[in-house]
Amino acid sequence: MAFASASACPHCRLAELCLPYGLHHEAVAQLATAVKSQRLLQADEYVYRQGGDGLYWYAVKSGSFRSFMADSDGFEQTVGFYLPGEIMGLDALQHGRFSCSVVALETAAVCEVPVARLQELCTEIPGLQMQMMRILGKEIASDHEQIVLLGHRSAKERVATFLLMLSRRYGALGFSGTAFNLSMRRQDIANFLGLTIETVSRQLADLNRQGIIRIRQRNVEISDLALLTLIVESCALWRSA
Amino acid sequence: MAFASASACPHCRLAELCLPYGLHHEAVAQLATAVKSQRLLQADEYVYRQGGDGLYWYAVKSGSFRSFMADSDGFEQTVGFYLPGEIMGLDALQHGRFSCSVVALETAAVCEVPVARLQELCTEIPGLQMQMMRILGKEIASDHEQIVLLGHRSAKERVATFLLMLSRRYGALGFSGTAFNLSMRRQDIANFLGLTIETVSRQLADLNRQGIIRIRQRNVEISDLALLTLIVESCALWRSA
DNA sequence: CGTGACTTTGATCAACTTCAAGCTACGTGG
DNA sequence: CCACGTAGCTTGAAGTTGATCAAAGTCACG
């Protein structure tokens, strides 16, 4: 009966995209009892820090986030962005300490779920274990995509892929897949894609000039989704003309 | 009593590095019953193929492997290498289909474990679930490292990091961390590091010339581990002179 | 000894970075 | 309300790194 607020899992509009996906009604209610609390965050506020105890998973309730690793010389690499319904904190599973830091890109909210409690619940809720594995599998799959992107793609392909990735994810959330606002700075995008801000800016300007997208500051509109997809798939044809 | 061969988990010299790590003696015996079979592979033989049913996890018993993804235009990206004690097949957890292919780099052997059976055993073997999560966490952590590598590092740093990574992993297996044979071709290394074979070859030649390593074909000897580590940590100082 | 796969080395070239300057949006205080 | 300051973004020119192209060298194996 605890946490029977309108925002708890059974009534959460993100349930089908989040941890409860595929679980029975009662199971979802049971899962909801594990959610310790919700937490509101301002832009630039940390959800957790690299090296901290990985005791919780964090489900994105609203807003968006950036995860990044700092290496020995203090240089940061953005590892991923998180949108509502996605789970953060999986990177602590190996040793119990977060290997990334995560900050909010805008005003946002997360649901904190103790990992230990989730693991206990696995024995009680059929399908939960499967679901946790699926979430981990999704993280692995998206990391692999990122590796392919960074390994072999030109600047133009990287930027196009980035826009398509956001388009797909916003679409899955029920938002427009062709018009949205970027919650991250150019610096974050560049860093994520292994490029410099200047290169990102130029590639976006090119796509704009070609009429494939319309971009003004952080506002993006994809005018020709098919063409954008083509850029990703057939590299050589689209060298900046 | 099934599979009570000398190579089954309780007697396997890799147990402490593999799935059984941290489990009680009886638990290991129980786990061993889940191992469907061992499979021997020749060089270039596939363990599994991208798109195939992800019904098994594969523990590397001996030899080494390369996993790679082919994208829409048929281009391959090497995602990782696997050494004894490591688990392959985790990339199928999301949708039940492998997102990578894995081939043996040399004569090798794997233990096949049905994922479904593993999940059942989680309720019976305390700690197994935790261990599976830890293995997934390790995969995520290593993918993140790879993302950092591909995102920001110069050719020299990438090659140095690659050598150090192998050194660490061979060391953990009880082999020499300073002298080993590369089981992969230059092409595989280059592809993994997001470089060309020529660049890899030149960087290795440079390191050789500087006396930091001694390399002849696939035989590597790391003469100055500290210096190699320094290259990775303080990039700018070591531009090829 | 010869063939083919793999690797090394050299010369040239292009993509992306770096450096530098100007622009836009936005918030704050006079 | 506007001027000013700052953070973020764009654009241009020059510089480097690593890619590409080309050729020769090495090794394994029949």
Find the CATH number of the domain harbouring A108.
2.60.120.10
Same domain, B114 and B17: yes
Average pLDDT over every residue of B112-125: 92
Number of domains in chain A: 2
CATH of the domain at A171: 1.10.10.10
Domain membership of residue A132 (yes or no) is no
Whether A11 shows a pLDDT value over 50: the answer reads yes
Nucleotide nearest to A184 (CA to C1'): D8
Same domain, B112 and B16: yes
- pLDDT tens-digit map of B54-78: 999 999 999 999 999 998 777 899 9
Contacts of B215 (CB under 8 A, 6+ apart): B204, B207, B208, B221
Confidence of residue A73 (pLDDT cuts 50, 70, 90): confident
Residue A49 near residue A80, CB atoms below 8 Å: no
C-alpha B117/C-alpha B71 separation (Å) is: 31
Whether B3 shows a pLDDT value over 50: the answer reads no
Contacts of A155 in chain B (CB under 8 A): none
Neighbours of A116 (CB within 10 A): 12
Domain membership of residue B87 (yes or no) is yes
C-alpha B114/C-alpha B94 separation (Å) is: 16
Q: What percent of chain B has pLDDT over 90?
A: 83
Query: Would you say the C-beta of B202 is within 7 Å of strand C?
Result: yes
Per-residue CA distances from B103 to B39, B40, B85, B214 (Å): 13, 12, 16, 28
Q: How many CB pairs under 8 A join A and B?
A: 126
Same domain, A67 and A115: yes
Same domain, B208 and B123: no
Compare B70 and A240 and report the one with higher pLDDT: B70
Average pLDDT over every residue of A41-65: 96
Nucleotide nearest to A239 (CA to C1'): C15
CB–CB of A133 and B93 under 8 A? yes
Domain membership of residue B134 (yes or no) is no
A137 lies within 8 A of chain B by CB: yes
Same domain, A123 and A75: yes
Domain membership of residue B142 (yes or no) is no
Residue B77 near residue B62, CB atoms below 8 Å: no
Residue B51, pLDDT score: 95
Whether A77 shows a pLDDT value over 50: the answer reads yes
Same domain, A121 and A54: yes
Same domain, B123 and B165: no
Same domain, A163 and A232: yes
Same domain, A20 and A111: yes
Residue A75, pLDDT score: 85
Using a 7 Å CB cutoff, list residues 106-165 of A near strand C: 154-156
Average pLDDT over every residue of B99-110: 96
What backbone phi and psi angles, to 5 degrees, belong to A52? -75, 160
Structure tokens, B72: 């829409």
The residue segments making up the domain with residue A21 are 9-127
Minimum-distance residue to C24 (CA–C1'): A217
Same domain, B190 and B100: no
Contacts of B125 in chain A (CB under 8 A): none
- Average pLDDT, whole number, for chain A? 91
Domain membership of residue A173 (yes or no) is yes
- Average pLDDT, whole number, for chain B? 91
Instruction: Please name every residue paired with A87 in a beta bridge, in sequence order, or none if there are none.
Output: A59
Same domain, B160 and B123: no
Average pLDDT over every residue of A83-90: 97
Whether A153 shows a pLDDT value over 80: the answer reads yes
Whether B183 shows a pLDDT value over 50: the answer reads yes
Query: Would you say the C-beta of A77 is within 7 Å of strand C?
Result: no
Same domain, A165 and A115: no
End-of-domain residue from the set B127, B143, B162 = B127
Residue among B134, B148, B191 whose CB faces A71 most closely: B148
CB–CB of A137 and B100 under 8 A? no
Contacts of B73 in chain A (CB under 8 A): 233-235
Domain membership of residue A71 (yes or no) is yes
